[in-house]
Amino acid sequence: MIRRCAIDGYFRGERCSCGESGSLVLDESRTEQLGRLVAGALRHFPDDLGLAMSPRGWVDLSVLGEVVGTRHRWANEALVVALVQSDPKERYEISGNKIRARYGHSVDVDLDHPENHDDILYFGAAEEEAAMILEEGLRSASQRYVHLSRTPEKAWHVGTFRTSNPKVIRVDAANAREAGVSMMTVNEEIVLSLPIPSPFLSLLPVQEQAALRSQYR
Ligand SMILES: [Zn+2]
C-alpha cells in the first residue's frame, strides 16, 4: 500500500520512516495492479499500450497517466508519481515530463546510467546454471543487460528467488571493464552489465558460500 506523510511524502507500508502513519493513497491490491501495469508499460510492452519509447527508455509521463487510466478507472498520473516516489527498489525515474524504468527491461533499450567502478561484483545462480555460466559466460536470455549485485549477500538473496541453495558467482568487474565490457550503476544494490565472458567469472570460495547460507537460515 502507498501512504503519504505530510513531511516525507509517499511511502510504502503502515508507517513512514519518521514514525507517522500518514494518510492512505492507494490500498495494497491497487498498488499491486498499478505496479504490474507500469512495469509492463515501461519494461516489457510499451507498444501494446500505444506508448512511444525513446532509445533511452523514456516515455511521456502524462501519456502514461492516460494509459493507466484507460486500464483502471481509478488510476492516473498522480498515482504513477506516488508509485515511483514510494518505491523502495527505485525501479523508475522521472525527469521533467518523462518517465522510465531504471532496469529490468525486456524491450531493447540503450540505458545511460553512470559508469560503474566496483572492482568485484556478484551474481546469484542456481547450481545447475552456475556451471554453464562459468563455462560460457554470463548473459541474460531475455534482456540486453545482466543484473549484477554489489555484495555477495545481495546476490545470494536474489538467487534464492529461483533456488533454495544458490551459487554466487564472482565477477572480476575491473578487468572485464578493462576488456571493454560496459557496466552501469543503477543504485546501491544493482549494476547493469553487457554480457561477461567466462575468463572474468569464478565461483565464490566454498567457505564464503557456506557463510552466506548460514547467515540466511
Ligand atoms: Zn514521515
DSSP 111-179: --PPBP--SEEEEEE-HHHHHHHHHH-B--SS-SSEEEESSHHHHHHHHTTT-SSPEEEEEEHHHHHHT
User: How far, in Å, is the centroid of ligand 1 from the Cα of 93?
Assistant: 21
Number of domains in the chain: 2
59 located within any domain = yes
User: How far, in Å, is the centroid of ligand 1 from the Cα of 33?
Assistant: 25
User: How far, in Å, is the centroid of ligand 1 from the Cα of 92?
Assistant: 21
106 located within any domain = no
Taking ligand 1, which is a single-atom ion, which protein residues have CB atoms under 5 Å away? 5, 7-8, 16, 18, 20
39 located within any domain = yes
User: How far, in Å, is the centroid of ligand 1 from the Cα of 80?
Assistant: 20
Say whether both 184 and 129 belong to one domain: yes
64 located within any domain = yes
* Residue 211: pLDDT over 90: no
User: How far, in Å, is the centroid of ligand 1 from the Cα of 86?
Assistant: 12
Say whether both 151 and 94 belong to one domain: no
Residues 6+ apart with CB under 8 A from 28: 1
User: How far, in Å, is the centroid of ligand 1 from the Cα of 5?
Assistant: 5
Say whether both 61 and 27 belong to one domain: yes
pLDDT, tens digit (0-9, with 9 covering 90-100), for 159-191: 888 888 899 999 999 999 999 999 999 999 999
Say whether both 142 and 195 belong to one domain: yes
Q: What is the 3-state secondary structure (H, E, C) of 21-87?
A: CCEEEECHHHHHHHHHHHHHHHHHCCHHHCCCCCCCCCEEHHHHHHHHHHHCCCCCHHHHHHHHHHC
Of residues 142, 145, 121, 124, the one with CA closest to residue 133: 124
Q: Which of residues 40, 66, 101 is at a domain's end?
A: 101
User: How far, in Å, is the centroid of ligand 1 from the Cα of 12?
Assistant: 11
pLDDT, tens digit (0-9, with 9 covering 90-100), for 89-131: 999 999 999 999 999 999 999 999 999 999 999 999 988 899 9
Top-confidence residue, 11 or 128: 11
Say whether both 57 and 142 belong to one domain: no
Q: Which of residues 41, 67, 101 is at a domain's end?
A: 101
163 located within any domain = yes
Say whether both 54 and 127 belong to one domain: no
User: How far, in Å, is the centroid of ligand 1 from the Cα of 74?
Assistant: 25
Q: Which of residues 36, 71, 101 is at a domain's end?
A: 101
Residue with cell 523514456: 58
48 phi and psi angles, rounded to 5 deg: -60, -30
Domain span at 188: 120-215
Residues paired with residue 167 on neighbouring β-strands, in sequence order: 125
Say whether both 132 and 63 belong to one domain: no
* Residue 54: pLDDT over 70: yes
User: How far, in Å, is the centroid of ligand 1 from the Cα of 21?
Assistant: 8
User: How far, in Å, is the centroid of ligand 1 from the Cα of 7?
Assistant: 5
User: How far, in Å, is the centroid of ligand 1 from the Cα of 70?
Assistant: 32
- Report the alpha-carbon distance of residue 192 to residue 104 in Å, rounded: 9
For residue 81, what is the domain's CATH number? 1.10.10.970
- Report the alpha-carbon distance of residue 25 to residue 31 in Å, rounded: 9
- Report the alpha-carbon distance of residue 99 to residue 82 in Å, rounded: 13
For residue 159, what is the domain's CATH number? 3.20.170.30
